[in-house]
Structure 1
């Protein structure tokens, strides 16, 4: 056994570790969160840590065989979207639970995203939102996107690791809430959870491998109602734990809940709903049908696979234009997040630094070494531009084929609802400039916040919400992009800016 000496926010901790393990595994075993977007396979370079007397090493490929000292960077706050669309569906609280509802009764709605987890605490008498809070999904240290986490589950033992990680995160927030609000665990009499299909499998300890294998089928998509003992979530012993239903392996409960939570004005008859994330889920809603698809955009807009990419944390460049850059919390820049990346690529296009083919001859400087917060340049590389091309083409092609299947064009749409964190913070003009979104829809865009979380909260208030969700599923028609005869040609053409 060797000694790990850990320098963390001014504190020094010592522990033993077994030789033969990667440093990433050693740190994870010590509950130290180190980002590993590629799942620890050595391809992303994001898991670097500083070793005393050695310098920076990639923790997933470094196997220490003697005592080591690791210096961790100070923790940074992440900016997680919790707000909701003002014109969401309105449902009155119901009181048909096994536990008698009193003035102290609380419902908890949870949205488990791939990168973040958001909690909504609701008064079940008044329907009032007591508190909302977002935290990072601890599973990100095992992989940035659903595919890398599914591959991580090739080892059966790792399924339990991922399940424990998310359950611990949920229970930690429950403990914090009851302590801060002077409440009891017994006050929590209903829990509703919305998430994408993979996250729901991992939450319940179900192997999600079939989701990534042809024909891409989920083990379950129906709603589930579990007990606190079955899922080990801290709540009243009689509290139902409700998992909202999904449509398919890649159209999850987060999208169904999002669609069901919207309450568009009468004038809006046909609209596009889109969550521009790793999976690029989208739907076109008409009077009689809902056409759905998932465009595998990859994690570029989440900061993964980008040389200086990062999530929406303090110090991330979130805006870039003629006036320079702006970071989250106005900290010195240490990287660039999705919205900043979008702006920077749009800027390069407008200035002629790159052309329609995306060719970039040398790294584009976003922030100098002297101006940065970590003494490293923030740059965009030629490979970064390529990652953006692939991501934006997936989304644009998905929209185009979905419109075709619905028999519509952009002029027929009354509105375009953008859900999720990236959709909320990105500049629509930049999205149109690079060809992520069609130019014709720019003036129809409405950001709707965390609709998945809104759906979970609405279901906490009333079981009527499940009726709305099932209506969405009944009207939904899944469009498989990979099987569409025009997909490959369209995708290749749309990689051009």
Structure 2
């Protein structure tokens, strides 16, 4: 056995042990060490870099590591084998991209405004913001020798008499505690219940004078990022908000790689553990700790995620999703409870899952469509959710069509050498001086925060500015020279946003031609999907009245820059609206409102799903879009004019 030490900038070392010949990336995965591996260890992406500090390791030089970098100790973890005791340094960008958890400051109006608006919009559409959870006071007769009824029957009979409901259900978790609570409270108690026309379910029992808050949890499970809200179910008040990298990302940046990984021996359990035990449960603990709330007082969960994430979360077989004819185990289910999958809240908490529409259009889009309000407007609107998969919905109050395209993780920082999630240290907006080529940028975090990398909104700005200032050409190649533009010995160009001494990481923050090419493909996937879906309906972009853009890729998107690089249609900028993380907003609304939950199911059942891979013209559209802004410049008159 050999000792393997993973070292981090500003964090404690992780020490583990491995057999001779064991793969370093697999060791990191088993040790819960955040090494970015979008290709899931296939040696094709070159992002699982670590730096050899000491000891022995067998690692061939690959095309992703230059001679100078190899001499400095840089290695790819996926092709490295342990041959002795070894120490490696994990770059800070890996932990920034994946692992850092952000707990929101709810005193900031910006943090809660988007959810308040979602709640207001659905209410104005006639959807009642009420749910089936409640607290009732129950007074029972104290037992005597003449009245020896058992505790459970005593409570059930009292509730039936008080409510008139004939069926009352009591789970084991309540049965186990009632004898203590009854006697401490002289048989006057408060019950947390879920009531319907036909039955009552008892979630919990409290003493008569105890303060009771009914908690709910809304979760958006993205391929790259997981976000959550802790709320008071009676008032709708947001008690906590947090986001974190999806722990599954070490098994691949896209859903296909993760499905493949899940089919390996023990793979399904590993992926389920990564998202629940390593991501969701720590977020719950952090939010509850910050708000002084107990996890066991969370009685309902609402989850919005794509179809594959739903399957990996629940430990179900996802392989049929990626194989023709692309059939999932379920589109919707109403039979899950927290204890079934190990989410650490009240064990009887019911899980509401936003319904999926197709194999690659999931509940995150259904939830987002709900709060985008497309279904309540006569105007033709386009809803775009920017994530690892780009999903679109087009329509109005009469019809809706949806489709999905594989944009890759670029919008959330993946496939970009300096990419990261929209968390502290991420450059989220940028301008570049045309004459000096010097950048000016804003960074997420407290004042004085140094840049660590680029999040999605920052990448859009940087590439747009590089093109606007003539630093890159329409193919994304560098054509100007200067202090911040450099080329390696292979001739590949890059632009330095922050030199090492200016940055908050162990190396320069720079974007290179490979990054730009990856992003051009991502934006090309979005625009080609828009064009293909509209063409299938015999529409064109001039017929779009409004565009609603969603995705947690920064504090906002510069729509002008997004149009400038050919990601969005060239229509008047006032038609664009950024609505943030609509998946989480929709999950929040579904959690709070039984009517909103029903509406979400209705939207899913009424939406037409277009499978782009079956449209012959889609690939031609995509190839034409892999250019800034497009091979057909007439589609972007404002860019040509500028």
Normalised to the residue count of structure 1, the TM-score between the two structures is 0.91
Q: 1:309 aligns with which of 414, 419, 422?
A: 419
Please, what is the CA RMSD of the aligned residues? Answer: 2.6
Q: Which string of whole-angstrom CA distances, capped at 9 and with x for unpartnered residues, describes residues 351-389 of structure 1?
A: 333333444464132334554344533333332232222
- Greater RCO between the two (CA within 8 Å, min separation 6)? 1
Give yes or no for contact 2:103–2:241 (8 Å, CA) kept in 1: no
Match of 1:274 in 2: 384
Match of 1:5 in 2: 5
Give yes or no for contact 1:276–1:423 (8 Å, CA) kept in 2: no
Q: Distance in 1 between matches of 2:352 and 2:592?
A: 12
Q: What displacement does 1:38 show?
A: 1.5
- Distance verdict in 2 for CA 1:176–1:356, change over 3 Å: closer
Match of 1:56 in 2: 74
- Distance verdict in 2 for CA 1:424–1:401, change over 3 Å: farther
Q: What count of residue pairs does the alignment treat as equivalent?
A: 497
Q: What displacement does 1:224 show?
A: 3.2
Match of 2:184 in 1: none
Q: Kindly report structure 1 stretches of 4+ aligned residues shifted beyond 6 Å.
A: 78-82, 264-267
- Distance verdict in 2 for CA 1:79–1:386, change over 3 Å: farther
Q: What displacement does 1:495 show?
A: 1.8
- Distance verdict in 2 for CA 1:117–1:143, change over 3 Å: same
Q: 1:399 aligns with which of 530, 539, 562?
A: 530
Give yes or no for contact 1:27–1:33 (8 Å, CA) kept in 2: yes
Match of 1:224 in 2: 334
User: Does 2:23 match 1:22?
Assistant: yes
User: Does 2:467 match 1:349?
Assistant: yes
Match of 2:450 in 1: 332
- Distance verdict in 2 for CA 1:15–1:334, change over 3 Å: same
Give yes or no for contact 1:224–1:243 (8 Å, CA) kept in 2: yes
- Distance verdict in 2 for CA 1:71–1:214, change over 3 Å: same
Q: Which string of whole-angstrom CA distances, capped at 9 and with x for unpartnered residues, describes residues 82-113 of structure 1?
A: 65351442342322512368842111111111
User: Does 2:297 match 1:296?
Assistant: no
| Aligned positions of 1:43-82 closer than 5 A | 43-53=44-54, 55-72=73-90, 76=96, 77=100
SS in 2 for 1:173: helix
- Stretches of structure 2 that go unaligned for 5 or more consecutive residues are 56-72, 105-110, 134-193, 195-200, 205-210, 434-438, 480-491, 629-642
| Aligned positions of 1:51-450 closer than 5 A | 51-53=52-54, 55-72=73-90, 76=96, 77=100, 84=114, 86-87=117-118, 88-90=121-123, 91-96=128-133, 97=194, 98-99=201-202, 103-168=212-277, 169-263=279-373, 269-323=379-433, 324-326=439-441, 327-329=443-445, 331-360=449-478, 362-367=492-497, 368-374=499-505, 376-422=507-553, 425-450=556-581
Q: Distance in 1 between matches of 2:375 and 2:334?
A: 31
Q: Which string of whole-angstrom CA distances, capped at 9 and with x for unpartnered residues, describes residues 303-359 of structure 1?
A: 222233333343333323224142333543343332222222212322333333444
Match of 2:170 in 1: none
- Stretches of structure 1 that go unaligned for 5 or more consecutive residues are none
User: Does 2:566 match 1:457?
Assistant: no
Q: What displacement does 1:300 show?
A: 2.2
Q: Distance in 2 between matches of 1:214 and 1:153?
A: 18
Moved more, 405-414 or 204-213: 405-414
Q: Distance in 2 between matches of 1:365 and 1:80?
A: 32
Q: Which string of whole-angstrom CA distances, capped at 9 and with x for unpartnered residues, describes residues 176-232 of structure 1?
A: 344444443432111111111111000011121222222333221123321233222
Give yes or no for contact 1:197–1:252 (8 Å, CA) kept in 2: yes
Q: What displacement does 1:59 show?
A: 1.5
Q: What displacement does 1:253 show?
A: 0.2
Match of 1:472 in 2: 603
Give yes or no for contact 2:241–2:287 (8 Å, CA) kept in 1: no
Give yes or no for contact 2:20–2:84 (8 Å, CA) kept in 1: yes
Normalised to the residue count of structure 2, the TM-score between the two structures is 0.72
Q: Distance in 1 between matches of 2:537 and 2:339?
A: 44
Q: Distance in 2 between matches of 1:496 and 1:466?
A: 41
Q: Distance in 1 between matches of 2:47 and 2:32?
A: 18
